[in-house]
Homo-oligomer: A and B are copies of this chain.
């Protein structure tokens, strides 16, 4: 029955779409406006280019979507471009993609939140002075929510996404109707303005003009950001995962293309003006130094639904702001996934790979939020300035991924002779080839046109990340070399010498002694450190009184210090007989409140820290649970709460909540047949008999 539950809990397309599409769809909210911003640098002269540039972007979008349909089918494990690059170009390329994606996650947060802020401000212009503050607060809220274990859920995403999509579509339809069939037509608030070209941009021609057009096109390419999301989320789809993911991709692509094209068209028809520098707008209502321009979306909504007061306007603005914030949130969920994939390849701390380590995730979230805030503050939460950094990473991974797919098909073609398949593969390869070529060209364009506008920052930080990841994997492999087994490491120690640390004769000590004796060591020493003569004498008296079946050894501590004498004692044993194994039993209190630790255990901890540098010494802590500790193991809650990215992994709510003691076989991908529910050892062979004595 669990497997059923599991089946259910995997994502049907209607939920998968909003979850993975919120990021790419949301970019519709700013893509058009980014094209205008660049073109209007030269006044209104070259606005006629806008449609063509938009068309180019749409073509590109469609190509990339088609290419990714190949990726999701070929690599359903959710590794996305990174996996493709790794498998087909090797680690170097993989690292480039990895670093590109890391940078992108930061920028997704920064850009989406800033754009969201813009649209909030468009609805409530008075907030303009607090732009940066609002953006930072939004990031903080997202980070906090994800730290607390905010659970992604299809439903939560569905509403705003579908609201946004339908809202925009309704707006477009109404808009076109008004434009063509109503006398007044459709007039944006900024249609009356004229634009003074920036110095040096007036009457451009030749190369300069081409460059301007390319820059505008590059900016428009932000419409493609987030397309790769689905490729990283295939595991969350219902089987047949590959096909469902591909369908969803197509759906998403179609919607995105329509909306982008529509918004751009409508903006041009309504004669929307949007410039980088507000003061270039001649006739701008309000003080161009302080007052903001309203986003293209806001201007259209106002024009279509009749003024700011209108319900439609507020609906659109709300939906837009919401989906942009959702888009930012996807980064918080995507990052841990990437982290765990990178960790699996030892490019990142390995605890990122396991679910258990909330700490690692928390740090990831904090880093993500931290850098996003840094960028937001550094760039005054200006979308158009942040965009310059954004697209580089995106297209880097696009390009490498696509070329990787081309190789992939070559290899595949090498293996299969079947004509049917080969034709299919050739077609796929062709698609990826086109995709690869286009994205490469765009990447070049971006680097050339955006470098001086901030892209350099990304081109600097990516290598830094790569070096870091290389260093980490180097460390791991270096360690791995040290750890290759040799005969020496398998030889059994000749004898076992148990040393039980005694401070007082009380339950913990007695338990430690009992446990130590239960392990039947060759030698058993009860060791105490004489810190205070009276105490020690009292201890010795008790020792007699309880006549404990093992002599008490007292070592002196002139400096009222515990660690050192024990250490010396142990090293002395080791020196006398190096092949002897020393097991140090440390009774330790387990307390319930953090402050109790201030009153206990310090020495035990310090001792362990020091002893571990001694080869051939084992430290055994014998925990004694104080009353206050009962029922204090809140580890469960921590251990099993939802973690960011679970949904995208296909670990959805029900499953995350179900206890691991639950029965039955489960999702094949993660639980092959030999799977057992944890806690229930496999019957056969799991229980080794007593190991042969070493003598």
Contacts and interface: CB of A to CB of B under 8 A. Distances in A.
A585 to B, nearest CB: 8
A531 B678 CA distance: 12
A606 B356 contact: yes
A480 B599 CA distance: 13
A492 B518 contact: yes
A13 interface: no
Contacts of A635: 563, 567, 606, 609-610, 613
Contacts of A484: 506-507
Contact of A670 (B350, B558, B589, B692): B558
A550 interface: yes
B666 A558 contact: yes
Given A569-B681, A676-B555, A691-B549, A560 B353 contact: yes
B613 A660 contact: no
Q: Is the interface of A mostly helix, strand, loop or mixed?
A: mixed
B686 A551 contact: yes
A355 interface: yes
Contacts of A568: 660-661, 678-679
A520 interface: yes
Nearest to A472: B599
A677 B559 contact: no
B693 A520 contact: yes
Contacts of A608: 621
Contacts of A532: 344, 353
A660 B559 contact: yes
Contact of A506 (B349, B480, B565, B581): B480
Given A550-B688, A555-B678, A519 B613 contact: no
Interface string A87-115: 00000000000000000000000000000
Nearest to A519: B519
B581 A518 contact: yes
A354 B531 contact: yes
Nearest to A636: B564
A355 B559 contact: yes
A609 B92 CA distance: 39
A158 interface: no
Contacts of A585: 618
Nearest to A363: B598
A627 B519 CA distance: 31
A674 B651 CA distance: 65
Nearest to A537: B672
B621 A682 contact: no
A197 to B, nearest CB: 53
Nearest to A635: B610
Among A516, A565, A598, A612: residue with most chain B CB under 10 A: A612
Among A506, A613, A694: residue with most chain B CB under 10 A: A613
Contacts of A524: 688-691
A289 interface: no
A550 B492 CA distance: 14
A191 interface: no
A486 interface: yes
Nearest to A581: B518
Contacts of A612: 588, 590, 621, 623, 625
Interface string A486-529: 10011111001000000011111011011111111111111001
Nearest to A564: B639
A359 B482 contact: no
A690 B522 contact: yes
A14 interface: no
A639 B561 contact: yes
A612 B591 CA distance: 10
Interface in A559-606: 559-565, 567-569, 571-572, 581, 583, 585, 588-590, 596, 598-600, 602-603, 606
Contacts of A562: 354, 356
Given A354-B603, A523-B690, A549-B691, 13 more contacts: A360-B602, A492-B514, A515-B581, A515-B618, A517-B694, A526-B688, A529-B678, A533-B672, A551-B684, A553-B681, A556-B675, A612-B623, A618-B623
30 contacts: A354-B531, A354-B562, A354-B603, A356-B564, A482-B627, A483-B506, A483-B507, A483-B624, A485-B505, A485-B546, A490-B513, A492-B514, A493-B518, A516-B691, A519-B583, A520-B691, A525-B681, A526-B688, A533-B672, A553-B685, A556-B660, A558-B651, A558-B666, A559-B656, A559-B660, A561-B640, A568-B679, A569-B678, A613-B623, A613-B629
The 10 closest A-B pairs by CB, nearest first: A568-B679, A565-B678, A517-B691, A483-B506, A551-B685, A553-B686, A612-B623, A550-B688, A356-B561, A613-B633
